[in-house]
Amino acid sequence: MVILFVEDITRAKAFYATVFQTEPIYDEPNMVQFNVSNQKIGLMPEDAILKTLSHRITRPRHDRRDPQMELYLYVDNPELYYQRLIQAGGSQVSPLKERDWGDFVAYGIDLDNHLLAFATPSRNQD
């Protein structure tokens, strides 16, 4: 499972429910999980991880403008996911196109500045 730290879990949950077109499989105040293409994506409020590990970390990514990570998801229809990301308030980065490594990928940014890649393998790959 990948866990994304988010500033506002209610806002992030609504965003991802729109992008993924599904309800969370787990929904508690300090953790929300979605199952997307057999991958678990978790959302955790920044305040919750700070409380858990307060002696080891500071506020995650709060003042950073550039994405600090990329969530690369293989999905059946990357263009559809990309359009839903935009409709849900995410930012466009790069439309769907075939990349040098052979995947068709669209890139966007969520409400917490995480870079999201929606991909499908090229038909030419084995």
CA–CA separation, 95 and 87 (whole Å): 14
Tens of pLDDT, residue by residue over 53-69, are: 876 766 555 555 677 78
Fold of 2-121: 2,3-Dihydroxybiphenyl 1,2-Dioxygenase; domain 1 (3.10.180)
**Residue 20, SS3 per DSSP:** helix
Q: Which strands, in side-by-side order, build the sheet including 2-6?
A: 2-6, 39-45, 31-36, 26-28
- Tally Cβ neighbours within 10 Å of residue 20: 20
pLDDT attached to residue 84:
98
CA–CA separation, 111 and 64 (whole Å): 13
Using 70 as the pLDDT threshold, list the residues of the chain that sit under it: 55, 57-65, 123-126
The structure's pTM equals 0.88
pLDDT attached to residue 8:
95
pLDDT attached to residue 64:
59
CA–CA separation, 118 and 105 (whole Å): 6
Q: Where are the domains of the chain?
A: 2-121
pLDDT attached to residue 122:
83
pLDDT attached to residue 10:
97
pLDDT attached to residue 51:
81
Q: What angle do CA 58, 53, 66 make, to 5 degrees?
A: 35
Q: Where are the alpha helices (DSSP H) in 38-77?
A: 46-52
